[in-house]
Structure 1
Amino acid sequence: MANFVIRSATPADCSDILRLIKELAKYEEMEEQVVLTEKGFSIVGFAMYYFTYDPWIGKLLYLEDFFVMNEFRGFGIGSEILKNLSQVAVKCRCSSMHFLVAEWNEPSIQFYKRRGASDLSSEEGWRLFKIDKEYLVKMAAEE
């Protein structure tokens, strides 16, 4: 098994995290949508999450982004990151972990399903929507 360390990010990791975000966007064929700029260990993966609250089920961990560089997949790094996130969720008394996966991303879908994930879009019929900033500004200015 490959040697790796799972740890919390520090401000010194910003350039590596931005590099991984850009690599994730490239993998998802959405490079042009990354507008962030940059303000020992070689970082080869990351998970970005936050806590939120669902009035029906309580506190949950929302996994915003999760990525391991292609050449480092298959060594158990992703499984360890997900295990670490699960430990954080349990310790913080979350009732579940939620995340999105692109429909075309079958390897990731299978990765999560093997670990007990449920596909809410097919099981519960939920659809994802977004309101872009221009429309948020427009609505915010309405009287």
Structure 2
Amino acid sequence: MASVRIREAQEGDCGDILRLIRELAEYENLSDQVQISEEALRTDGFGENPFYHCMVAESLTAPGEPQGPRVVGFGLYYLIYSTWKGRSVYLEDIYVMPEYRGQGIGSRIIKKVAEVALDKGCCHFRLAVLDWNRRAMDLYKALGAQDLTEMEGWHSFCFEAKAMRDLAGR
């Protein structure tokens, strides 16, 4: 088992974050939807007013091993606001490379995001998962998350660019 530390992402991690985003998209059979670039990640996450924040899981190697530290997972999140409860965090994506799964890395990323949420005075943090990903759902429930689809019947919707242009009359 590799020694892994969870830390805040740095600007120099954007290439690794993009690599992991592509791996996640492939895992979810959605590779054709990845349009983000390393430059956009850099600009949007590390500018004056970042649109997102990110935790990375970094595998540490023992002294004398040829490979240095390697980013093997990530959790990308941002601040949102609940009109009913106030400050919140949304965990957009969490991913751990297959060969590093089963070591508690995903749980540690989620715990770090929970710490951030509490430190920022948030009442909760949310995330979504594809309906076929039972392993992830079981993990989230084991960690104490509530399935809002089961409990309250919430469904997520998204307005893509064309729909936004149509709505805005552009």
The TM-score with structure 2 as length reference comes to 0.80
Moved >3 Å (runs of 4+): none
Deviation digits for residues 45-81 of structure 1, max 9, x if unmatched? 0000011110111111110010001110011111111
Alignment of 1:25-64 (within 5 A): 25-39=25-39, 40-64=68-92
Number of residue pairs matched by the alignment: 142
Alignment partner of 2:38: what SS? coil
Q: Which amino acid aligns with 1:16?
A: D
Amino acid at match of 1:23: E
Structure 1 position 20 matched with structure 2 position 20: yes
CA distance in 1: counterparts of 2:154 and 2:107, whole angstroms = 27
**Cα drift, residue 33 of structure 1:** 0.2
Give aligned-pair identity as a percent: 44
SS at match of 2:4: coil
- Cα distance in 1 for residues equivalent to 2:122 and 2:144: 16
In structure 2, distance between residues paired with 1:126 and 1:84: 26
Write out per-residue CA displacement over residues 95-129 of structure 1, whole angstroms, 9 at most, x where no aligned residue.
01101010000000000000111110111011111
| Aligned equivalents of 1:125, 1:80: Cα separation in 2 | 29
CA–CA separation in structure 2 for the residues paired with 1:96 and 1:139: 31
Q: 1:77 aligns with which of 105, 118, 121?
A: 105
TM, length-normalised to structure 1: 0.95
Query: Which deviations, in whole Å up to 9, do the C-alpha atoms of 1:14-55 show, x marking residues without a partner?
Result: 110000000000111100000112224200000000111101
Amino acid at match of 2:73: G
Q: Does 1:109 align with 2:116?
A: no
- What SS does the corresponding residue of 1:48 show, helix, strand or coil? strand
The structure with the largest strand share of the pair is: 2
State the superposition RMSD in angstroms: 1.2
Query: 2-side partners of 1:112 and 1:53: how far apart?
Result: 21
Counterpart residue identity of residue 146, structure 2: S
Q: Which amino acid aligns with 2:74?
A: F
The AA in structure 2 aligned to 1:72 is Y
**C-alpha distance in 2, partners of 1:61/1:78?**
17
Query: Any stretches of 5+ residues in structure 1 without a counterpart?
Result: none
Q: Does 1:90 align with 2:118?
A: yes
SS of corresponding position for 2:7: coil
CA distance in 2, matches of 1:88, 1:132: 29
